[in-house]
Chains A and B, each alone.
Chain A
Amino acid sequence: MINRRQIKLTEGIDWPIMGLYFALVFVGLLSIFAAEYREGDNIWNDIIHLNKNYARQLMWLGISGVLATIIWLTDSKFFTATANLLYAGGILLLLLVLGIGKDVKGSHSWLVIGGFQFQPAELTKLCTNLALAKYLSSLETDFTKLRPRLIAAALALVPCGIIILQDETGLALVYFSFFLVMYREGLPGLLLIIAFSGIVLVLSALLVDKNILFIIFSVLTVLVIYFSRREIKRHRSRLAVILGIWAFCSVFVMFIVPMAFTKVLKDYQVRRIEVMLGKENDPKATYNTRQSMIAIGSGGIFGKGYLKGTQTRYDFVPEQSTDFIFCTVGEDFGFLGTLIFVGLYVGLLLRIIFVAERQRSTFSRVYAYGVASIIFFHMAINISMTIGLAPVIGIPLPLVSYGGSSLMTFTMLIFIMLRLDADRQMVLR
């Protein structure tokens, strides 16, 4: 096998994913450059001295390339073998950050190593994905039972909890994407419905007066009881279920949500959610979202042209090379550009799902679904945030946003998947 690799290094690589990977990274570099470049800058000088983000991103891309090559040359058994170890290491790293981490932009989630900042919360996505795949592919795991489901959920939620303690709520949210993987592996669909209902409940609790909601719930409950009175006569327990749902919804809306908003969430988080819901009109609070929407909206159908955007180039949009990088695409390339750009992600996600489904081992499939879920969560939340569909949550656009931790993590996520896919004919457990 080693001989074969020497004969043809690229044997078994999934070219569509490779192509989409490079396309996104290239668009990312162009956008970071557009966000930073000013007329008269000495580009070569900036690149050599790593003065600018695009120069550093280029460096991170080089390092990512090295990592990708190492992964590609690694036996795929290595990942199954070390998954649990890596997960444990990841958790330790997160705890370490909690102790000796550095505050950057209000989050206590960074390690500083030799002048470079590193965010372990990014890397632990990879560890968690590996550990989850390992656990679900284990022969002892019967995912139709409650206990394995709870263990799987714990695998995802433990790092999530530590990251919340690091005040990096955005990245913590991403760990919920693993529930999509678990759904694929047999978690009841009811949970998705319940989760969706939960989101609707929270939103309505925020948007509608809680007393009115209580009246609505009560009226609905009475109606449901009235129309299903024959059912209830036959199964007395149904009434208890209906009344239970009514009681839960009422308590949730009237007490839990308001308490969560005043006690658990931070002021700025509450404000961001209120901004998104249109409840808050303070120009200062809405600044980021508004500037971002102005930038994207002013792009029009065809865009202003590369490097012609006035909003993204002159610092109107905050965090424009990291969290708000999508604005550059929107402003310079317009609706057609964003359509193609979003199309790249859709292509990548659907291809990963296709690749996942062709795996013969559960480990590879779960892992690939994990990659798709993480990328999907990042992409959906990030873009929604820039166009005012979601509150401002600081998570990067995969492969595009500036940031070494993020770029390296996604590169490793994808290349481990490519390695596993190349070896799909081997039976892994």
Chain B
Amino acid sequence: MSVYNQPRKRVIQFIILGMVMLIVVRLFFLQVIEKKYSKLADANAVLRKVVYPSRGIIFDRKKRSILSNDAMYDLVVTPIAAKNIDTSYLCQILQIDKEEFKRRIATAIIKNGSRRVSVFASLLPPDMFGRLQESMYMFQPGFDLVQRQIRSYPFSAAANILGYIGEVSPQMLVKPAYSAYNQGDYLGMTGLERAYESVLMGQRGIQYLVKDNLNRPQGSYEKGEFDTAAIAGKNLHLSLDIDLQVLGEHLMRNKIGSIVAIDPQTGGLLAMVSAPTYDPNLLTGSYRARNFSRLFVDTTKPLFNRAIQAGYPPGSSMKPLTALIALDEGVITPSFGFPCHGAYVNCGRPIACTHTTPGHAANLRLAIANSCNAYFVHLYRLEVDAPKWGGVKKGHQKWHDYISSFGLGHRLGVDIPGESGGKAIDTAGMNKLYNGQWNSCSELYVGMGQGQVVATPLQMANAMCIIANRGSYFLPHFVHSIDGDESDPILKKYKEKHTVAHVADTSYRSVIYGMQDVVESGTGRVAQIEGVIVCGKTGTAENNAVVDGKLVKLKNHSVFVAFAPRDNPKIAIAVIVENAGFGATYAAPIASLIMEKYLHDTISVKRKPMMKTLLEYNTLDPIVREKSKLDSLNGATAKMTSDQILKLYFRD
């Protein structure tokens, strides 16, 4: 039979070899001809993981960290492993109900699948974290705690300066400028966090990991040959003095307004308060979203940085500039006097002056000291009507050029975003406003800082720097050095000295003496500091608002600008308290306390009662105050009594 069936053996051998040939041909096609499979395999198996460096830290001028990184914890869940646990106990710790628990698990599964890790509760509050950590063994391995870096603010201050970080939005991601970011990345949204984003963020590293079929990392790819290490963000060293900042924020309690203090010798900002403010720690951590929306809708606009974004009429604080222009144009000499009897009447409608006694504007020094309105509106008229310009239009443009060179009417370029340029009307603007029919009487109020001139507190403080330095200034800025390096190209423009036109030293001297008189014998006597010659100028700025469609005159802004000491000045300051009243009542003492704190490092005990009064002043409009939810948001300092705050400054 075996011999009979020899051909059948051949057939079976043929079937086997035929099938094997088919397999070999297919394998040859798969493994040798077709190249796409190795690419598919790489896409399958290599995970590109971004390694986040720690963000740069921000220090103040005395090297205290005012913005650092803190560790918080997320509770993460791997849904498939989260079984057989005491769900009700976990819910109790997390203060959620069972429904919420189920919803979060479902969300996690939808988002990342049941085998991958998803965030279950992010940024646990410390007490919750503590309790969870104790009983974590009960919920593992389904649940785990994962550390995460967040920003923290040890002084709970300078919120508007430092800014906050936020998740990159889809709208941002489509722009080429944000091509380096991925969905879910955090970046600086405002303040220094945003302006110095490229410095603070450091360089992200990329790690290539081998992954398995469920995208779980299994180890490094090719022993890390293609990985790039993350480089930590650089630290910023600021000119800011956090003590001064905190003092400013205390003094501005229950007030709306702003304080800007600059070191005139460097242009470095010493303090920048925008009131009301908020505790920056509110915008990190567990309740960020809730707090943000509350701050965002609050009637007092705490997220609005008034120091650089709000425009105020400078009021009388403008007068020294008007004087400088007049002196430089040669239309007056320091001995120029104006016979004011309580009003300026040369342009028809009288402009009132607080002083009626004749001789209060007998010369420039007196006029500044007594803040004579008539004197300065007249100076403006002299300036623009000066025969050498040959017409008011040319003259006003010249005036505008002067004002511009003093830093008004345009952005200064401070190193935080959102700065507003204020307003200083030029000839084209005047033509538009008056249809080309105008003269020196039309807007003579600008001479006393009212009307068509609006300045930010930063611009007012910067103008003080120019006077203090007798004609030179540095662009105001916060960052002194980046990781100790002052020569970083980003900082170059802040290290350049700017000289204002050609105003003579003698002109400055007469203005400065006038300002010295303001403090020593004039309207700003409250600003005196023991042993220091303070030069200042009060302002009581008139302002209007449109309420219910009608232009309503509101209570005056209290303004004070100053610098000290007179010779070799160390601090220039501008303080505005909105709708409070006389400059001398609110702004001047606040400025004085800050200057004293900066120059003497303490505040003399004699001033304790004054400080107490300031702390207790409440200039908020009762309606605004009632609507604002800020007290509950403002953190520890808002709930402190004035006595508690005073204890921080005076030992007894």
B-binding residues in A (CB < 8 A): 38-39, 180, 183-186, 189, 192, 291, 293-301, 310-311, 314-316, 330-331, 334-335, 338-339, 342, 345-346, 349-350, 353, 357, 359, 362, 365, 369, 372, 376, 380, 383-384, 387-389
Contact = CB atoms under 8 A, between A and B. Distances in A.
8 contacts: A183-B8, A185-B1, A297-B31, A314-B211, A315-B212, A316-B213, A353-B12, A383-B23
Interface string B1-19: 1100100110111011101
B552 interface: no
Given A334-B31, A350-B13, A184 B23 contact: no
10 nearest interchain CB pairs? A297-B37, A298-B41, A310-B45, A314-B212, A335-B31, A298-B38, A316-B213, A297-B30, A315-B213, A298-B37
A344 to B, nearest CB: 11
A69 B407 CA distance: 102
Given A293-B30, A297-B37, A389-B26, A350 B16 contact: yes
Contacts of A359: 2
B39 to A, nearest CB: 8
Contacts of A345: 20
A301 B31 contact: yes
B20 A365 contact: no
A342 B24 contact: yes
Contact of B9 (A349, A353, A376): A353
Contacts of A350: 13, 16
B636 interface: no
Given A294-B41, A310-B45, A346 B20 contact: yes
A73 B601 CA distance: 103
Given A339-B24, A346-B16, 6 more contacts: A185-B5, A294-B44, A298-B38, A310-B41, A310-B45, A362-B1
Contacts of B28: 335
B221 to A, nearest CB: 9
A387 B2 contact: no
Nearest to B212: A314
Contacts of B30: 293, 296-297, 330, 387
Given A315-B212, A357-B9, A39 B2 contact: no
Given A297-B37, A339-B24, A383-B23, A315 B214 contact: yes
A345 B23 CA distance: 12
Contact of B17 (A180, A295, A346, A372): A346
Contact of A330 (B11, B31, B46): B31
Given A38-B218, A184-B5, A300 B32 contact: yes
A360 to B, nearest CB: 9
Given A310-B210, A316-B45, A293 B37 contact: yes
What band does the interface of chain B fall in when counting residues whose beta carbon is under 8 Å from A? 35 or more
Contacts of B13: 350, 353
Best-surrounded residue of A183, A297, A362 (most CB of chain B within 10 A): A297
B61 to A, nearest CB: 51
B45 A39 contact: no
A311 B41 contact: yes
A300 B38 CA distance: 8
A380 B23 contact: yes
Contacts of B547: none
Nearest to A384: B23
B24 A316 contact: no
Contact of A389 (B5, B15, B23): B23
B605 interface: no
B652 interface: no
A393 to B, nearest CB: 15
A338 B16 contact: no
Contacts of A335: 27-28, 31-32
Interface in B116-158: none
A350 B44 CA distance: 39
A203 to B, nearest CB: 15
B40 A294 contact: yes
B545 interface: no
Contacts of A342: 20, 23-24, 27
Interface string B210-244: 11111000110000000000000000000000000
B22 interface: yes
B41 A314 contact: no
A296 B212 contact: no
B530 interface: no
Contacts of B211: 314
Interface string B443-477: 00000000000000000000000000000000000
> Interface centre among A189, A293, A298, A387, by most B CB within 10 Å?
A298
Nearest to B36: A297
Given A296-B27, A342-B24, A387-B23, A311 B44 contact: yes
B34 interface: yes
B5 A387 contact: no
Given A39-B219, A180-B15, A183-B12, A310 B44 contact: yes
Contacts of B37: 293-294, 296-298
Nearest to A376: B16
A211 to B, nearest CB: 31
A295 B212 CA distance: 13
Contact of A180 (B12, B41, B44): B12
Contacts of A369: 12
A184 B23 CA distance: 24
B31 A338 contact: yes
A331 B37 CA distance: 11
